[in-house]
Amino acid sequence: MRIIDRIQAVISEYIVQKGYEATGWIVEIPKDKKIADYATNISFKLSATLKLSPMIIADQITPEIVKIFEEKMSGAFEIFALRGFINFKLKSNYCFEYIGNDGFSLKLVESNKKVLLEYVSANPTGPLHIGHGRWAAMGDTLKRILVHVGYDVDTEFYINDAGNQIANLLLSIEARRNNLPLPEDGYAGEYVKDLVKEADPIQAVLLQQTDILRKFKVTFDRWFSEKKELHENGFVNSAVSVMKEKGLTYEQEGALFFRSTDFGDDKDRVLIKADGSYTYFAADIAYHKNKVDRGYNHLINIWGADHHGYIKRVKAALFSLFGDKVELEVLLGQLVSLFRNGEEVRMSKRTGEMITLEEVIEDIGCDAGRFFLVSKQADTALDFDLELAKKQTSDNPVFYVQYAHARICSILNTSQIKAELDEDIVVEEIEHSLMRYLVHFEDELMIAVQNREPHRIATYLMELANMFHSFYHQCKVISDDKKLSANRLAIISAIKKVLATGLDLLGVSAPEKM
RNA sequence: GCGCCCGUAGCUCAGCUGGAUAGAGCAACGGCCUUCUAAGCCGUAGGCCAGACGUUCGAAUCGUCUCGGGCGCGCCA
């Protein structure tokens, strides 16, 4: 249980025991962490029923709360009232013990859900672009943090290797081979020239995508082929049959409709077109049913924001088949607008104007690319200027964090003194602040998990690195004073653990030297 | 027209399940390397949190509306 939850529990018990009535109170992390690490607004919420001002209430109950915490969490905090809030300030020794020798034991979630996280899922009709890179970085980091706190999660890439886009690409290649004009809406991109030589162009594109994702340190537990595993083996057909049997469909004007309006959609959707072929939607229902058939009961999809209109109907379909036994969560990532020297580059596989993910990674590197892409909230449209990114490579925030880690390694290597923390020897304010901030890693991680916001890890690491660098310039770690040195070595080794863990969750390396 | 997302420093963005004085990086300016890594540190400057009204003891945060930007509304995928 996190510290914040334990505080909540203890105060909750106290409220009940005293017979107070209060609702809506919380334990929170103050914006200004200089004041305290945790604070509760309980006095504000009691003020209505007790008819006293929050300050007075806080002053009265704080001594009692101090006493209870002496019993339940001895030595953990300094507790004091300030402007109506009751504040909890962590003590350094407690922090050090809490972090422990192996870092946190961050098994924060008990879940019997089997999660399938699906992301990227690009058409194999061309190179991946920077937007795919964003979903890739986000999805991979999300998987890492979910697993880290105890979820059972597999990842999957859905290969859209059936349908018109594929046919269209093949026609374009065929046209090129025979020196014929491109079909209307054909693919004009440069990369198509290279595909002309390939016996199996689709497979070639797919391999290229796999390869670049691997370079980006993004791997999947499974690559799922729409063509092979849904169409060729008749799975779409059987899924649609199930829907028919359940009375979820009707025929009209030669087409088969799904009654999705019965499940919250805006209009009924076609499953089988009048010409007898399946819609993309039908295949997608089959795909999601397939996931459930394979034993997953919590599906998470990361989609580009341009697909948001599609969510309702997929949820409708899944609900019509499985009710609330299966949860579908769709995370939308806003698109990435690419700029080159301040001018927007409109990307299109068809027209061929594009900057690929591969180019970006080669220009700025995997670590910098991942950190940049995952450090921004996903539902904000992102502007990415390639020239700027190249120019700023050396002051990319990722190096700031990595540098902190390398610096620590360097110091640790030059000393053989055993790290040991003694609260009384922690002299500087920044040292206390650092120890306290380390404990908040669990809080940031949980918020990141709960809100599906991996960017919070990056923000946290920036802040931690900032505090460390500041500490480094204020405090000499290794000195003639053995006890002081041992103390500071303990502090920096704790920082190192958290930095390394955090960077790993982002899929970014933690170098020992830079 | 209807629906979703966004609007915070010159630029790129944090902060948003209501809390204490609005933050960081880059860019600008001024300092700091005979000392564990200067890819660093310290300082200065920079803001009507798009705007208005409302809810509240308290609003960048919640609600309604307006303005501005992005995206979506196929028997395409």
CATH of residue A301's domain is 3.40.50.620
In a domain, A345, yes or no: yes
Nearest nucleotide, CA A334 to C1': B5
* Of the residues A391, A406, A425, the one at which a domain ends: A391
Contacts of A103 (CB under 8 A, 6+ apart): A497, A498, A501
pLDDT (tens digit per residue) in A415-474? 888 888 888 888 788 899 999 999 999 999 998 999 999 999 999 999 999 999 999 999
In a domain, A199, yes or no: yes
Burial class (CB in 10 A: 0-12, 13-18, 19+), A490: buried
Q: How far apart are CA A148 and CA A98, in angstroms?
A: 18
Strand B proximity: list residues 293-312 of A with CB under 7 Å: 305-310
Q: Looking at the structure, do residues A330 and A226 belong to the same domain, yes or no?
A: yes
* Of the residues A56, A90, A124, the one at which a domain ends: A90
CA geometry: angle A450, A287, A332, nearest 5 deg: 35
In a domain, A302, yes or no: yes
A391 pLDDT exceeds 80? no
* Of the residues A363, A391, A419, the one at which a domain ends: A391
Q: Looking at the structure, do residues A77 and A161 belong to the same domain, yes or no?
A: no
Q: Strand A222-225 to strand A152-159: parallel, antiparallel, or no bridges (unpaired)? A: parallel
Contacts of A105 (CB under 8 A, 6+ apart): none
Nearest nucleotide, CA A473 to C1': B41
pLDDT (tens digit per residue) in A8-42? 999 999 998 988 888 778 888 887 777 889 999 89
Q: Looking at the structure, do residues A460 and A371 belong to the same domain, yes or no?
A: no
Q: Looking at the structure, do residues A308 and A445 belong to the same domain, yes or no?
A: no
Q: How far apart are CA A485 and CA A478, in angstroms?
A: 5
Q: Looking at the structure, do residues A141 and A79 belong to the same domain, yes or no?
A: no
Strand pairing partners for A129? Answer: A356
Instruction: Among all protein residues, pick the one whose CA is nearest to the C1' atom of B75.
Output: A273
Residue from A494, A499, A508 nearest A103 by CA: A494
In a domain, A104, yes or no: no
Predicted confidence at residue A341, as pLDDT, reads 67
Identify the domain containing residue A84 by its residue range.
Answer: 3-90
Of A117-121, A336-340, A420-424, A500-504, minimum mean pLDDT range: A336-340
A45 CB inside 7 Å of strand B: yes
Q: How far apart are CA A166 and CA A348, in angstroms?
A: 15
Q: Looking at the structure, do residues A123 and A181 belong to the same domain, yes or no?
A: yes
Q: Strand A382-385 to strand A336-340: parallel, antiparallel, or no bridges (unpaired)? A: parallel
CATH code, domain carrying A487: 1.10.730.10
Q: Looking at the structure, do residues A377 and A408 belong to the same domain, yes or no?
A: no
Predicted confidence at residue A514, as pLDDT, reads 87
Q: Output the six-digit token pair for A400.
A: 């700031």
Distance, CA of A129 to C1' of B6, in Å? 22
Predicted confidence at residue A105, as pLDDT, reads 65
Q: Looking at the structure, do residues A291 and A317 belong to the same domain, yes or no?
A: yes
CATH code, domain carrying A42: 3.30.1360.70
Q: Looking at the structure, do residues A402 and A382 belong to the same domain, yes or no?
A: no
Q: How far apart are CA A286 and CA A267, in angstroms?
A: 20
ipTM for the complex?
A: 0.93
In a domain, A276, yes or no: no
- Confidence tier at A347 by pLDDT (50, 70, 90): low
Q: Output the six-digit token pair for A367.
A: 């670590």
Q: Looking at the structure, do residues A428 and A417 belong to the same domain, yes or no?
A: yes
CA A278 to chain centre: 34
Distance, CA of A470 to C1' of B42, in Å? 9
In a domain, A158, yes or no: yes
A101 pLDDT exceeds 80? no
In a domain, A211, yes or no: yes
Q: How far apart are CA A257 and CA A163, in angstroms?
A: 19
In a domain, A262, yes or no: no
Domain count, chain A: 3
Strand B proximity: list residues 422-481 of A with CB under 7 Å: 447, 450, 453, 455-456, 459, 462, 466, 469-470, 472-478
Q: Looking at the structure, do residues A341 and A399 belong to the same domain, yes or no?
A: no
A280 CB inside 7 Å of strand B: yes
**Highest mean predicted confidence (pLDDT) among A37-51, A87-101, A303-317:** A303-317
- Confidence tier at A314 by pLDDT (50, 70, 90): very high
Q: Looking at the structure, do residues A308 and A188 belong to the same domain, yes or no?
A: yes
Is A37:A90 a contact under the CB 8 Å cutoff? yes
- Confidence tier at A381 by pLDDT (50, 70, 90): confident
